[in-house]
Amino acid sequence: MRKRILSVVLAGALSASIVATGVVTASATKNPDDTYTPTPGVTAKTYSFAMPGAWESDYWTKNEKCAGIYWWTGSDTPGSVFTHDWPGYKVKTVDEEGVKNLYSTPVPADANQIIFSNHIDGGMPNTEGFTWERFYAACQIKDTPAQYYSFMESDYYTKALWKYVWDKAADAVEMDHVNWSDDETQMTKDEAAEVAAIYEALQAAVEDDEFELDIPEFGKYAKNFYVEMENGDGIAQNFDNMVFVANLDKNTIRKSYTIVPEGKDTYDGDWFFYYGKGEYGTWPTKELLMENTGITFDDKGNPVLPEKSDLVIDEYGSVNQLKEVTLTDEKTGESRKVKVNLMVYGNFTGKYYEDKTAPEHPSVPTQPTTVAPTASPDATSATGATKGSSSNSSTNSANGSVATGDFSFAAVIFVVVVGALGVFYFSRKKYNK
């Protein structure tokens, strides 16, 4: 059963003392090297993380040389086996030739939100043992969904992928494809009605025949899309064997001043399908990515964009969708529009890893952070996760989405359809506007 997260303000954490080490309890799942192994009976998925080279500071090299992962709901939470729960479990590198910055770990399937970090407890200013070197060396992503996405719930995934999946689902239950419109920003009312009919047939197939959605051309991700039954979210996409890649665009970095006046950065990014050798993208295979985006590759493996494309290639060689968003200064209330890069394809073994210089801080901070309860006094553990009608959606906060209003590709994608089919709705809202 997926649990709902009630985000609350972290009270009393600022005065807590720093506890340097954890203590293993009788039910501990922490290994001797501080990595994680699921408790017997706990269902887990495998999640990977591509650490940016900029996170590998001198402090990290001398003290950590690993990634970290933290979750605060679900089975085997770090707090249940650590006296000092942040920064959670250590994550070791994957043994893959030519790849030095890929980390992988099992994670309980009932964990709602996770945070990847470089496993540095940054500490709090004016507390015992605090150093600015350690504080600024501590890096983390925003709290991010760890169970599934539903239709266009992530800004990084366009409507094209979801149309493809729903059409394959229609084939599986021998129904006509949805008459998709040219509107790439939302699901129209007519589309929602047709999707509702397909979903009803999918539900019946699952209940009667133990039906499992299988898309062979997705390769190792053939079963990452499934019929979500518990929350009525239609078809969902899980993240098993996917990789989270942090976005290095400075305008996607959230600077939160809620916990520490000096401010603490958290990185945006998303889950991507991993092709091997550091390559990743928003389609389950590289071949499908090329077919559906028009991207090709030269004889050196560099991406080449199709003519008249709205895609761009950034300084790291990644292909991005350019999107205009609004950033609001939490101190002055002033807002301005900026353009951010939302990754479509990339390789995290090149400059992404070789460049050890951190992106400059965003010039305009985003909204205040809402945080979950924790015993840690570390600013980087101030991470909240609640919003909308679902515990799995990402938060619109300094540790959540960079957007403060119009970041979503899908302004209206959740449509209530009332008619012969009854009432069908996608229950999980994308952002708390």
Whether residues 261 and 227 share a domain: the answer is: no
Q: Is residue 153 part of a domain?
A: no
Q: Quote the pLDDT of residue 30.
A: 80
Q: Is residue 264 part of a domain?
A: yes
Q: Quote the pLDDT of residue 13.
A: 28
Q: Is residue 429 part of a domain?
A: no
325: left (phi over 0), alpha (psi -120 to 50) or beta: beta
Whether residues 243 and 113 share a domain: the answer is: yes
Whether residues 69 and 165 share a domain: the answer is: no
Cβ-based neighbour number of residue 80 at 10 Å: 14
Q: Is residue 32 part of a domain?
A: yes
pLDDT in tens, 334-355: 788 888 899 999 999 999 999 9
Residue 401's identity, in one-letter code, is S
Whether residues 301 and 319 share a domain: the answer is: yes
HSE, side-chain direction, 13 A CA sphere, residue 377: 17
pLDDT in tens, 43-83: 999 999 999 999 999 999 999 999 999 998 999 999 888 87
Q: Is residue 266 part of a domain?
A: yes
CA distance 218 to 275: 11
Beta bridge partners of 347: 279
Q: Is residue 154 part of a domain?
A: no
**Is the sign of the CA dihedral 367, 432, 378, 249 positive or negative?**
negative
Q: Is residue 258 part of a domain?
A: yes
**Structure tokens, 307:** 């003519």
What total of structural domains would you count in the chain?
A: 2
CA distance 62 to 25: 28
Whether residues 140 and 8 share a domain: the answer is: yes
Whether residues 376 and 411 share a domain: the answer is: no
Structural domain boundaries enclosing 56: 1-147+239-388+395-402
CA distance 425 to 227: 14
Whether residues 375 and 245 share a domain: the answer is: yes
Whether residues 234 and 375 share a domain: the answer is: no
Whether residues 223 and 250 share a domain: the answer is: no
Whether residues 124 and 209 share a domain: the answer is: no
* DSSP β-ladder status, 243-246 and 44-50: parallel
HEC assignment per residue over the chain: CCCCCCCCCCCCHHHCCCCCCCCCCCCCCECCCCCECCCCCCCEEEEEEECCHHHCCHHHHHHCCCEEEECCCCCCCHHHHCCCCCCCEEECECCECCECCEEEEEEECCCCEEEEECCCCCCCCCCCCCCHHHHHHCCEECCEECCCECCCCCCCCCHHHHHHHHHHHHHHCCCCCCCCCCCCCCCCHHHHHHHHHHHHHHHHHHHHHCCCCCCHHHHHHCCCEEEECCCCCEEEECCCCCEEEECCCHHHCEEECCCCCCCEEEECEEEEEEEECCEEECCCCHHHHHHHHCCEECCCCCEECCCCCCEEECCCCCEEEEEEEEEECCCCCCEEEEEEEEEEEEECCCHHHHCCCCCCCCCCCCCCCCCCCCCCCCHHHCCCCCCCCCCCCCCCCCCCCCCCCCCCCCCCCCCCEEECCEEECCCCCCCCC
Whether residues 222 and 93 share a domain: the answer is: no
Q: Is residue 430 part of a domain?
A: no
Beta bridge partners of 108: 44
The pTM score is 0.81
Residues of the chain with pLDDT under 50: 1-28, 364-433
Whether residues 411 and 370 share a domain: the answer is: no
Q: Give the chain's radius of gyration (CA, Å).
A: 21
